[in-house]
Chains A and B, each alone.
Chain A
Amino acid sequence: MPALLEVRRISRSFRGLQVLRGVSFSVEGGAIVGLIGPNGAGKSTLFNIVSGFLPPDDGDVIYAGADISRRSVPDRSYAGLVRTFQTPQVFRHLSVRENLMAGCYKQTRSGVLANLLGTPGSREESRRMRRSADAACEEFGLTAVRDRLAGELPAGQQRLVELARAAVGEPRLLCLDEPSSGLNTEEVVQLMNALQRLNAQGITILLVSHDMDLVTIAPVIHVLCFGEIIASGPLRAVQSDTRVREAYLGV
């Protein structure tokens, strides 16, 4: 399959510190790709550039054949590029159902005026959003907590809410930033199942993680160290790569 995401020679520095040096890699459509590396390797920065929260100093981000390097975060979202955050960014004062309904935002069109007047179109859209949200709750096992405020849930469930919210908007590329941080082993297994299910539905997944159990779901791994990709390939292969061992263990 052709590459859905292509990262080409991305460089970025902060106040004289070169964080990324000409990073290039690609993500095939329909694949699950993992991005690992020691702390300070530049994973978050790379992620922020891919998802649109930071501009690169140099290089391009090509998505579905188009250069999106300068496009805004909402624009990328409409194109199907959605990300999650290291600490789950659920909408704390909204219920789980409302969180998921918010995920349907870009599939609806009604303007503020229509919303104010409560036009039939606006109401129908709200009903549709509610139905999608409820269906997603079922799929992710959140029906029991559907009416609870998202801010009151434990970290593992918040993670699921965030994931479900990203998924309900029918993304093409899902970028996950440390999705397993704060989760116990059982929750990580739940997460892995959910991700594989989403992938089976055709969603491409890019995963940044420290968790060596989680990244086993990714057939392709890239290792980022000091702003450069030092190894790529299946997990077994990169784990035995000498450069990678040096980077992680100082061996």
Chain B
Amino acid sequence: MPVIARVHEANARLPLLKWAGALLVVALWAVLPALASRSVTDMLVFTALYSIAGLGVSFLLGQCGIVSLAQSVFYGVGAYSTAYCCVQLGWPSAAGLLVGIGISAVVAVAVGWPILRLSGYFLALATLALAIIGHVLFLEWDWLTGGTLGIGGIPPLSFMDYQLNSPQRFYYLVWPIAAALLWFHANLLRSRNGLAMRAMRDAPAAAAVLGVNIRILKVRMFVLSAVLGSLAGSLFAHYVSFVSVDSFGVDRAINFLLLAVLGGAKTIVGTVLGALFITIVPNALSRFGDIHAVLFAACLIAAVIFLPDGFGGAIARLTARMRAGDSRS
């Protein structure tokens, strides 16, 4: 009797522990800018931005089984739309954001409809080809993007004269946005379309037999991913106030993919872990110069070999084992 009672107690404490843990994390998050240096806060802002863009790549990979290297294109579209609309046209920032999202969605449908019938490595390489096309167009269409010179002077986001022109202020905007988007995705996963996605990944023929229109669902998810990339890009543009073509090339696309693979595409928290990794590690390694790119790639390789489900997956396995261990004792 006493053994069983103790087990029940432990199990009852678990959700309480989870709540306490979550509260602690939120509290830490809230006070961090006050305690940490400007550069650390700046890094965490980028973590949030990359979480948003990376979420797009992550769920395409983890839930739909699609390797997408095209996120850099949508990131760029969002950034340049914001830059062009706000600087060249003088429109308000919301307009730039919406224009970016609109263009990304249209491009995602136009491009996604034909290429999403491909699968496996064909599709992955097609998205890589897209990333290259996007990068070249950003370079060549310098009347729109400023080419290598870029576009500068992008105004910071402001709410009624309160300007978000410092890392600390932007931090308190971008993280709630990221958190909200992550929560939306958790909703999606539990819903009928989320189930349909995962079914489609596991056994597409069986999913079709249950009424799932595979192609349309893939295109919808691709559009969703593009919208996320564009949103992140627009926020990025407002934050750094200067965008140039170097930020939107193939290495950016690979960065986002690394985020998804390393963080663990199957879990939501994995996306944030991946984003943390790709912001903190290059920063820490940049003192070693160009070699950080090699180490980075080494991480992707190691992740594919040893941690195919990424950090998030490893953590999920660990908690599952702990839970099983608890119930056994």
A74 touches B195 (CB 8 A): no
In Å, the complex CA distance between A78 and B205 comes to 15
Residues of A within 8 A of B206 (CB): 85, 89-91, 162
Q: What is the 8 Å Cβ interface bit string for chain A, positions 49-81, against chain B (1 contact, 0 not)?
A: 001010000000000000000001110011000
Do residues A116 and B185 form an inter-chain contact, with CB atoms below 8 A?
yes
Q: Least Cβ distance of B208 to chain A in Å?
A: 4
Which one of A98-106, A192-200, A207-215 contacts B?
A: A98-106
Q: Assuming A112-B220, A117-B184, is B210 touching A98 (CB within 8 A)?
A: no
Q: Is A83 an interface residue (CB 8 A)?
A: yes
Would you call the interface of chain B mostly helix, strand, loop, or mixed?
helix
The interface stretch among B145-153, B168-176, B196-204, B238-246 is B196-204
User: For B192, B206, B220, which residue has the most chain A Cβ atoms within 10 angstroms?
Assistant: B192
Instruction: Point out the residues of chain A lying under 8 angstroms from B191, CB to CB.
Output: 110, 114-115, 118, 122, 125-126
Which interface residue of B185, B188, B194, B203 has the most chain A CB atoms within 10 A?
B203
Q: Which of B157-197 contact A (CB under 8 A)?
A: 183-185, 187-188, 190-196
Q: Which of B187, B203, B209, B210 has the most CB of A within 10 A?
A: B209
Chain B nearest CB from A26 CB (Å) reads 22
Q: Does B120 contact A (CB under 8 A)?
A: no
Closest chain B CB from A193 CB (angstroms): 23
Q: What are the residues of chain B within 8 A of A103 when measuring CB–CB?
A: 210
Contacts of B196 in A (CB 8 A): 102, 105
Among A51, A84, A115, the residue within 8 A (CB) of B193 is A115
Interchain CB contact under 8 A, B210 and A105: yes
Taking the complex as formed, is A82 at the interface, i.e. its CB lies under 8 A from any CB of chain B?
Answer: yes
Decide: A83 and B209 in contact? CB cutoff 8 A: yes
Interface membership of B87, Cβ < 8 A: no
Provide the A154-167 mask, 1 if CB < 8 A to any CB of B, else 0: 00000000100110
Contact B188 A105 (CB under 8 A): no
Asked if B211 CB lies within 8 Å of chain A CBs, one says yes
C-alpha gap A194/B199 in the complex (Å): 24
- Contacting residues, chain B, for A117 (C-beta < 8 A): 184, 187
How many angstroms from the CA of A84 to the CA of B202 in the assembled complex? Answer: 15
Q: Check A131 for interface membership: any CB of B closer than 8 A.
A: no
Minimum CB–CB distance for A39 against chain B, Å: 22
Are B210 and A106 touching (Cβ within 8 A)?
A: yes
Contact of B195 with A77 in the complex, beta carbons under 8 Å? no
Which residues of chain B come closer than 8 Å to A82, judged between CB atoms?
209-210
Does the CB pair A91–B199 fall under 8 Å?
A: yes
Interface pair A112/B198, CB less than 8 Å apart = no
Does residue B43 face the partner (Cβ distance < 8 Å to A)? no
Docked CA distance A115–B211 (Å): 18
Residues 87-128 of B at the A interface (beta carbon under 8 Å): none
Alpha-carbon distance between A132 and B214 when the two chains are bound, in angstroms: 23
Residues of chain A lying within 8 A (CB to CB) of residue B32: none
A112 adjacent to B211 (CB under 8 Å):
no
Cα-based distance from A77 to B214 in the complex (angstroms): 13
B residues in contact with A99, CB < 8 Å: 199
Task: Check A169–B193 contact: CB distance below 8 A.
Answer: no
Is B315 an interface residue, CB under 8 A from the partner? Answer: no
Residues of chain A within 8 A of B183, CB atoms compared: 118
Instruction: Give the most central of B183, B202, B207, B214: most A CB within 10 Å.
Output: B202
When the two chains form their complex, are residues B187 and A115 in contact, meaning their CB atoms are under 8 A apart?
Answer: yes
| Chain A contacts for B212, CB-based, 8 A | 74, 105
Are the C-beta atoms of A105 and B192 separated by less than 8 Å?
yes
Q: B186: nearest residue on chain A (CB-CB)?
A: A118
16 inter-chain pairs at a CB distance below 8 angstroms, sorted by A residue, are A84-B209, A85-B206, A91-B202, A93-B198, A98-B198, A101-B192, A105-B195, A105-B212, A115-B191, A115-B193, A116-B187, A117-B184, A118-B183, A125-B191, A125-B192, A129-B192
User: Which 4 A-B pairs have CB atoms at the shortest separation, nearest pair first?
Assistant: A106-B211, A115-B191, A89-B206, A118-B187
**Which residues of A are interface residues toward B (Cβ below 8 A)?**
51, 53, 72-74, 77-78, 82-85, 89-94, 98-99, 101-106, 108, 110-112, 114-118, 122, 125-126, 129, 162, 165-166, 169
For the A-B complex with A102-B210, A104-B192 known, give 4 more contacts whose Cβ atoms are closer than 8 Å: A91-B199, A101-B195, A103-B210, A162-B206
